[in-house]
Amino acid sequence: MSDRGQDRSGRRERGKREKLGRIRVAAHRLFVKQGFERTTTRQIAAEADIGAGTLFLYAPTKEDLLVQIFQDEAGRAVERAFAHMPQAPLLEQLLAVFHALIEFHAADPALARVFVKELPFVDDSRHGLAHFMAQLYARLGGLVDAAKASGELAADAPVRLLVQNLFGIYFQQLQLWLGARAPEPRPEDERLREALELQLRAVRAKE
């Protein structure tokens, strides 16, 4: 490809990224301002200053946009957590991941409420959220497997079920926090720590 062709291709890609950024900012603003249910794709397109047909090329539905925003931003939080994972007992490693997600939600509690209310009911077969969660569960499962191998957990501890329970504890604490009228910057660390510790106690290796 000639230099001129590369320049045109580069400009197109930058234009696509810039347009997608505007779309996501517009969707974010409207989801928070008037709620997910009341927001339409036509409103998002108008807010982003693009045509409705153009929006369809990037995200056919508002559910697609909600999942895109969540996966992009929550995914970065998870990546940071695993990139700086402490060499510590399983409880501390789990808290590192869950705290990273909590900090992500705490940065915008209004949007976090939209995520918590809407994402559990998104059609996973269409929007790819199941793949994101499967990857997260697999990485948490890796932490559990390592704890089993080191003798911290019982060798017969059921990894998949344990990961589901641990994530469920985190998600319940997140819901309780977001349901408060005037939440603190983030849920109480000790409440989450104690709940996770109680679950882990049931599968600790016998001394």
CATH number for 47 = 1.10.10.60
Task: Kindly state whether residues 54 and 98 are assigned to the same domain.
Answer: no
**Per mean pLDDT, which range of 15-19, 42-46, 130-134, 150-154 is the poorest?**
15-19
Task: Kindly state whether residues 138 and 85 are assigned to the same domain.
Answer: yes
Range of the domain at 142: 61-207
Residue that is last in its domain, among 24, 45, 60: 60
Task: Kindly state whether residues 95 and 117 are assigned to the same domain.
Answer: yes
Task: Kindly state whether residues 51 and 80 are assigned to the same domain.
Answer: no
The overall average pLDDT reported for the chain is 88
Contacting residues for 46 by C-beta, under 8 A, at least 6 apart = none
CB contact at 8 A, 41 and 63: no
CATH code of residue 127: 1.10.357.10
Task: Kindly state whether residues 49 and 117 are assigned to the same domain.
Answer: no
Please give the Cα distance from 36 to 54 (Å, whole number). 21
Task: Kindly state whether residues 68 and 132 are assigned to the same domain.
Answer: yes
Does the structure show a pLDDT above 60 at 3? Answer: no
Contacting residues for 119 by C-beta, under 8 A, at least 6 apart = 66, 67, 70, 129
Task: Kindly state whether residues 51 and 109 are assigned to the same domain.
Answer: no
As a whole number of Å, the end-to-end CA separation of the chain is 66
Residue that is last in its domain, among 32, 60, 88: 60
Please give the Cα distance from 41 to 59 (Å, whole number). 9
Please report the pLDDT score of residue 138 as a whole number. 97
| Mean pLDDT confidence for 51-71 | 89
Task: Kindly state whether residues 54 and 65 are assigned to the same domain.
Answer: no
pLDDT digits (tens, 9 = 90+) for 145-187: 999 999 999 999 999 999 999 999 999 999 988 887 555 555 5
Task: Kindly state whether residues 164 and 82 are assigned to the same domain.
Answer: yes
Does the structure show a pLDDT above 80 at 70? Answer: yes
Please give the Cα distance from 205 to 156 (Å, whole number). 9
Does the structure show a pLDDT above 80 at 37? Answer: yes
pTM of the predicted structure, to 2 decimals: 0.83
Task: Kindly state whether residues 78 and 54 are assigned to the same domain.
Answer: no
Residue that is last in its domain, among 35, 60, 85: 60
Please report the pLDDT score of residue 163 as a whole number. 98
Task: Kindly state whether residues 73 and 39 are assigned to the same domain.
Answer: no
Give the chain's domain count.
Answer: 2
Task: Kindly state whether residues 77 and 36 are assigned to the same domain.
Answer: no
- Which residue matches tokens 């510590």? 88
